[in-house]
């Protein structure tokens, strides 16, 4: 049998993570084991608050697991000393929600920033690399514009150029399709797939957009209730019989994920008024 680590760039082994009591003491991940295959696009999906962005933070070392191992290229990120952690991060690219461009820097300077920060390359070589990356996302001609002068979809593509400018082995996308119009959304999805295959990188996409994400993903992982509700190819996940997964992939309002946040029953909150109160489900209590 092939070594799982050899075929996986990222692995979670029995990972548990919770935020401290000061922010709710809620278990986000409970003994989660998963793998992200090299050279593939893996989608992390699930209801809001299910731990998707937390997974990205654990991989990048912004958070540390309470227990278990978070492996990047067979090294436990949570145990890396600062110099080794920074070296690992240089092998990762990150596309933040809504791009997170530096508003006072031009498109060119936004993309050049990681090169100037982390390499000793000459200005001429930096120029050539930046223009190549901008050309890859279709925005070489926008090099001199400011973030305020470009659309949201263009800003996302500039951020993508910045994410790939150091030629990372792993790119993490946190909601890359949020707020985009259909044309920009389709363009972004196509770019993610195209860059992944052309550059031979590994991609993790956190998204709620089912249609576009299922079209570009090789593997889908659905997170729910602190664990993994389903994982496999998009087709396997789409046909899952798990009630929660079925609710999620079919965008159903009724199912295991409730509309109401858990709390006291109606009688406890309203007392005698409860008999005339209509609950959110349309039932009198």
User: Cβ neighbours of residue 271 under 8 Å, at least 6 residues apart?
Assistant: none
Query: Which tokens in the block code for residue 206?
Result: 């956190």
Q: How confident is the model at residue 36 (pLDDT cuts 50, 70, 90)?
A: very high
**Per-residue pLDDT at 282 exceeds 50:** no
* pTM for the full predicted model: 0.81
CATH number of 38-63+75-241: 3.40.50.300
pLDDT in tens, 183-242: 888 888 888 898 899 889 999 999 888 888 999 999 999 998 888 988 999 999 888 888
Q: Can you tell me the mean pLDDT for 164-172? A: 91
- Structural element, H or E, at residue 130: helix 123-136
Span(s) in the chain for CATH 3.40.50.300: 38-63+75-241
Cα(105)–Cα(77) distance, integer angstroms: 32
The pLDDT assigned to 267 comes to 75
User: Cβ neighbours of residue 175 under 8 Å, at least 6 residues apart?
Assistant: 97, 206, 207, 208
**Per-residue pLDDT at 280 exceeds 60:** no
The pLDDT assigned to 2 comes to 40
pLDDT in tens, 85-109: 999 998 998 888 766 888 899 999 9
Whether 80 contacts 61, CB under 8 Å? yes
Q: How confident is the model at residue 64 (pLDDT cuts 50, 70, 90)?
A: very high
């Amino acid at each position: 049998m092939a070594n799982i680590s050899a075929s996986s760039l990222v692995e979670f082994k029995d990972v548990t993570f919770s935020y401290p009591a000061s922010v709710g003491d809620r278990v986000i991940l409970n003994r989660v084991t998963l793998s992200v295959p090299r050279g593939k696009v893996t989608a992390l999906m699930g209801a809001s608050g299910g731990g998707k962005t937390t997974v990205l933070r654990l991989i990048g070392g912004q958070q540390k697991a309470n227990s278990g191992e978070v492996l990047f290229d067979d090294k436990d990120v949570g145990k890396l000393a600062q110099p080794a952690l920074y070296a690992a991060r240089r092998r990762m690219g990150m596309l933040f929600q809504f791009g997170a461009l530096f508003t006072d820097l031009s498109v060119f300077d936004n993309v050049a920033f990681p090169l100037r920060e982390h390499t000793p390359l000459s200005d001429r070589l930096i120029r050539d690399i930046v223009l190549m990356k901008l050309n890859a996302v279709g925005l070489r001609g926008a090099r001199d514009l400011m973030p305020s002068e470009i659309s949201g979809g263009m800003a996302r593509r500039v951020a993508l150029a910045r994410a790939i400018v150091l030629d990372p082995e792993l790119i993490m996308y946190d909601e890359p399709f949020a707020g985009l119009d259909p044309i920009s959304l389709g363009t972004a999805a196509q770019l993610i797939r195209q860059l992944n295959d052309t550059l031979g990188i590994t991609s993790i996409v956190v998204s709620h957009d089912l249609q576009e994400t299922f079209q570009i993903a090789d593997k889908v992982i659905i997170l729910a209730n602190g664990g993994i509700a389903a994982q496999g190819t998009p087709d396997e996940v789409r046909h899952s019989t798990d009630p929660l997964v079925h609710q999620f992939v079919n965008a159903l309002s009724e199912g295991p994920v409730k509309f109401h946040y858990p709390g006291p029953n109606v009688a406890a909150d309203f007392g005698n008024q409860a008999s005339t109160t209509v609950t959110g489900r349309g039932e009198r209590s």
